[in-house]
Amino acid sequence: MDPRKAEGERLAFTIATEGDPQIRWVELRNSVLVISNVDSKATAHVDVTRPELADFVLGKGAAAKAGEPLAELDRGPHRSPATAPHRSP
């Protein structure tokens, strides 16, 4: 995260990974990403498979689910050039 570009930004959503019963709350505040366990899905929620989550974490981009919070996190102006997703041609 580039802290200068992330200043004042906020994004919050829940995420569930296929095969994992635990729902997680993900919140970006400025350049800090906070992840915690919750009991239920929020209005802003994304369901992903393990491969989709792995690709996102590895910088290969968010799952192709337009308008979802994970895609917003992936393309946000807070992304540092060093951590920007790498997409193969």
**Highest mean pLDDT pick, 5-19, 31-45, 73-87:** 31-45
Domains of the chain by range and CATH? 3-75 (3.30.1050.10)
> How does residue 86 score in pLDDT terms, banded at 50, 70 and 90?
very low
> How does residue 3 score in pLDDT terms, banded at 50, 70 and 90?
low
Span 25-57, pLDDT tens digits: 999 877 778 899 999 999 999 999 999 888 888
SS3 78: coil
φ/ψ of 75, rounded to 5, equals: -100, 5
Mean pLDDT for the chain overall? 77
Strands (E), the chain: 10-17, 23-29, 32-38, 45-48
Strand partners, 32: 29
